[in-house]
Structure formats: structure tokens, C-alpha cells
Structure 1
């Protein structure tokens, strides 16, 4: 393969501090400062590093209503949800506990054949999914 993964995902928000705090608390993300961005003078960008090679580029654009628009799955446009790869079963279990504690997930773990998965919603309503590949022994990432 010519790629090593996803570099960044650009998202719109009304509250970059709240969104950054969520990703820091649940995923141990590193949240950078909010800086001016673009040529119109109204945009800002905050980089939220969610993995060694992956970040969320969090934009605020006051003149845009897109950050407020929420629609059901498969009706969200070209980017429907974000799938994040947990580094281990232990990381998956920790993330699950944190998502439930933040009210962002009910903690349901799905068996998708080659991987286990759970869904969450961040404070802005963006649906996310955390996945971990199945271990060779078939154990469950939460119950063992």
C-alpha cells in the first residue's frame, strides 16, 4: 500500500474547546491552540491530534450553519461517520469506559467478523466508531 493511514479529518464546530476537551478526556488526544485560519478573517482552526499520524482539524466558521445540521446515518452527506482504530484490547476497553462515562455511548460492542466495534457521538453530534481487530484466540475486548 502507498498510504499509512489517515492524516486528518476536517470537521466544523461551534465550540472547539468543548470538542477538544471531549477527545482529550476520552481518547487522550492532544489539543493545540485555536488559531485564525483562512483568508476571510472569520475562520479558526484547532488541531486535535488523535493518533501518531492522525488529527482532527477542527474549524469554526461563524457564517456557516453546517456545524448545526444533524441528520440520521446514511443521510449525512459524503462523510457519514469516522472510524477510529484502537491500539489494543486494553485501549478499546478504556475508551469504552470513558465514552459511557461521558454519555457518548451506551457501550454496546458489535462483532463485525474481523473486528469488534462500538459507536459513539461526540458533543457536536458527529458519529464515530472505535474498532479493534479480533485477537487470534477470539477473545472479547471487554469481557476477555
Structure 2
């Protein structure tokens, strides 16, 4: 393969501070500073590092209503949800505990054959999934 993973995922949020606090608390993510972004006033971007080479690029745009639009699975547009890879079984269990504690997941683990999967919903309403490949 010519690629070694995902560099970043970008989306629009209404409250980057709340979102950054959630990803830091649950996933030990590193939240960078919020900086102006783009050509329009009222547009910012904050980088949240979620892995050694993976970031969330969170953009806020004054007056943009896209973050309000959350519909059932497969009705959310071209990108439906984000799947994150747990570093190891202990990390998977710790993430699961933190998600349940945060009220972001019921903690149910799905066995999809090749991987264990845990769904969550972040403070913006974006559905996410944490996966642990099975050996």
C-alpha cells in the first residue's frame, strides 16, 4: 500500500472547547490553540491530535448551521461516522470506561468477527466508533 493511515479528519463544530475537552478526557487527545482560519471573519480552526499521526481539524464558522444537522445512520451525508483504532486491548477497555462515564456510550461491545467495536456519540452529536482488531 502507498498509504499508512489517515492524517486528519475535518468537521464543523459549534463548540470546539467542549469538543476538545471531551476528546482530551476520553482519548488523551492533545488540543492545540484555536486560530483564525479561511478568508471569512468568524472562522477558526483547532487541531486535536488523537494519535501519533492523526488529527481532528475542527472548524467553527459563525452562523453555520451544519453542526445542528444530525440524522440517523447513513442519512448524514457522504461521511457518516468516524472509526478510531484503539492502541491495544487495555486502551480499548479504558476508552470504553471513559465513554460510559462521560455518558457518551452505553458500553455495548460488538463483535464484528475481525474486530471488536464500541459506538459513541461526541458532544456535537457526531457518531464515532472505537475498534480493536482481533488477532
TM-score category, normalised to shorter length: over 0.9
Paired residue secondary structure (2:51):
coil
CA distance in 1, matches of 2:110, 2:68: 29
Which has the larger share of strand? 2
Stretches of 4+ moved more than 3 A in 1? none
Aligned equivalent of 2:101: 101
Q: Cα RMSD over matched residues? A: 0.6
Matched, 1:52 2:52: yes
CA radius of gyration, larger in: 1
Match of 1:86 in 2: 86
Segment of structure 1 superposing worse, 15-24 or 34-43: 34-43
Q: How much does 1:63 deviate?
A: 2.5
Q: Tell me how many residue pairs correspond in the alignment.
A: 135
Q: 1:27 and 2:44 equivalent? A: no
TM-score by length of 1: 0.92
Q: Which runs of 5+ in 2 are unaligned?
A: none
What TM-score results when the alignment is normalised by the length of structure 2? 0.98
